[in-house]
Amino acid sequence: MTTMYIWREGLQRLFLRALPVLLRVAIIVGLIGAAALSGLVLASGRLEPELVTAAAVAALAAVISYRIASMERGILAIALAGGLLNFFAVVPPGTQSRLVISLVLAMGLIGVWFMGFIVNKNQEPLKPSPINRPIWLFVFVSIVAYGWGVILRDPLVYVPGSFVVTQSAALLVNILLPLLALLVANKFIDLKWLRYLAWIMIGLGVLNIVSTEFNLPTQRLIFNGARGLFSAWVAGIAYALAIFDEESPLWRRGLLLLVVAVILYQNLLMNTIWLSGWVPVLVICTVVTFYRSKKLFAVGVGIGLLVMALNAGTIYQEVVVANIEEGGTERLDIWAMNLSHVAKHPFFGMGPAGYAVYNMTYHPLDARSTHNNYFDVLAQTGVIGFVAFLWLQWRFLMLGMRNCRRLAGKRNFSAAFAAAALGGAVAAMVAMMLGDWVLPFAYNQTISGFDNAAYTWIFLGGMAAQAHILDRGEVIGDS
């Protein structure tokens, strides 16, 4: 038994013993923060009725879900709310961020779940998973970074009066999304919930396709949720079910391939300049193909290279030149500017949304967000938070590959879900270079980006849930 092993086990036991105390402290701090936030809201005189209604409904839904022992349905409700309840309540005072129903539902469910660890002695403890430690570390570092950024903020930095609300909301989003994955990993104990989740996603994808193609009023319902990695998840799940799930009838698999084709048409052919729209779609489909058949993967790569060679000029003009003309290369300057501030706050960064006020103070004519989740995380949580975040992404990748290896040769829903989840994890890592699609930035997507970002974390949590199902040795089929 090595010294490193002894230290690791000792720290794990210490953490588990301290968890109840940490949760109590978190609740107390949360209540104090909520009280302070409520005071700011009331003092501003801009209390929105929609905000109160949304909070009350979400709290009631969370409690009901918990009492009827169906947190699973609450999670599915978050997925549905992200795509169907595009109703907003303005977060006062004086900000442009909007609080979405999916975020409020997630906050309620996770809060009730945490309360259960304190008030319910019979509540099942956290399931062991390789994602647990990096999630807890990232959440802890994000909270520390909030205080660190405030205390060590440059004295010359101008801070708007509403920034405390914006920054608190940014912190909330940054910790709720990873915790949402943890909730899914612990509550989806049956394959049927992953099946419901997959078909909800496909249903929302079809709604988005029909609404967009026929310019229907329902676009307003799905627009916000259909941003970011939404199309990639819909296409990846539909494609995986079509080529993996041999237990499904051929007509259904054909319709799923049609969904994938329409998504590629909308995002690749009709909106080529928007890389975030089609690059993640190609990535997730490529990974799914690789795990389905190496020969099919080789054929697909060959065809792709041939198409690129035959259309090199057009691709160069419509992708490279068009993005340069739109100002894509200006991101390099923004990243360099961002790193110059990180260099002065290397350990915990400038706090959630913190680099925005630095840019507004020191670069008022060029105060833009990085449009890159990696730089966002680095600036907001420093090197420590950045390492924790990368550790978490690596754990998701390793977990996804492990699931796919354990289901190698299977041709059913479970194998399809494993391949799609892994492909989505890879696509998310690529998409984070193209925008704030995994952790929405308060001054870019704003916290309303929770609608579309939640899908990534729910499916990554589903990946961990599937690992638990496999660990139980259950027969994973279509039933």
Q: What is the DSSP string of 448-468?
A: GGHHHHHHHHHHHHHHHHHHH
Q: How far apart are CA 110 and CA 245, in angstroms?
A: 33
pLDDT of residue 33: 46
CB 417 within 8 A of CB 329: no
Distance CA 348, CA 149 (A): 7
Question: What integer pLDDT is reported at residue 30 of this predicted model?
Answer: 47
Q: What is the pTM of this model?
A: 0.86
372 with 331: CB under 8 angstroms? yes
pLDDT at 366 over 90: no
Our CA angle for 413, 432, 451, nearest 5°, is 65
Instruction: Give the H/E segment covering residue 81.
Output: helix 71-84
Q: pLDDT digit string (tens) for 183-213? A: 999 999 999 999 999 999 999 999 999 999 9
pLDDT of 464 reads 97
Lowest mean pLDDT among 45-54, 67-76, 262-271, 411-420: 45-54
Q: How confident is the model at residue 68 (pLDDT cuts 50, 70, 90)?
A: very low
Q: Please give the pLDDT value at position 267.
A: 92
Q: Residues of the chain with pLDDT > 90: what percent?
A: 54
Query: Are 77 and 124 contacting, i.e. CB atoms less than 8 angstroms apart?
Result: no
pLDDT by residue (tens digit) across 109-166? 998 888 888 777 777 889 999 999 999 999 999 999 999 999 999 999 999 888 888 8
- Band (pLDDT 50/70/90 cuts) for residue 10 is low
Q: Which of 23-27, 146-150, 316-320 has the lowest mean pLDDT?
A: 23-27
Please provide the distance, in angstroms rounded to a whole number, between the alpha carbons at the two ends of the chain.
43
**Contact between residue 456 and residue 438 where contact means Cβ atoms under 8 Å apart:** yes
Asked if 412 contacts 391 with a C-beta cutoff of 8 angstroms, the reply is no
pLDDT exceeds 80 at position 94 = no
Q: Looking at residue 328, what is its pLDDT? A: 73
**Is 18's pLDDT higher than 90?**
no
pLDDT digits (tens, 9 = 90+) for 326-337: 777 788 888 889
Contacts of 122 (CB under 8 A, 6+ apart): none
**Residue 20: pLDDT over 70:** no
Do residues 453 and 228 touch, judged by C-beta distance below 8 A?
A: yes
Residue 46's pLDDT is 47
pLDDT of residue 241: 97
Residue 126 neighbours by CB under 8 Å, 6+ apart: 132, 182, 186
pLDDT of residue 90: 52
Q: Check pLDDT > 80 for residue 468.
A: yes
% the chain with pLDDT above 70: 82
Give the max Cα distance, the chain: 66
Give the mean pLDDT of the chain. Answer: 84
Amino acid at 398: M
8 A C-beta contact, residue 270 and residue 453: no
Q: Output the pLDDT for position 390.
A: 97
pLDDT at residue 451 in the model: 93
Residue boundaries of the structural domains of the chain: 129-169+182-471
pLDDT of 42 strictly over 70: no
Stated length of the chain: 479
Residue 315 has what pLDDT? 80
DSSP characters for 123-171?
SPPPPP-TTHHHHHHHHHHHHHHHHHHHHT--TT----TTHHHHHHHHH
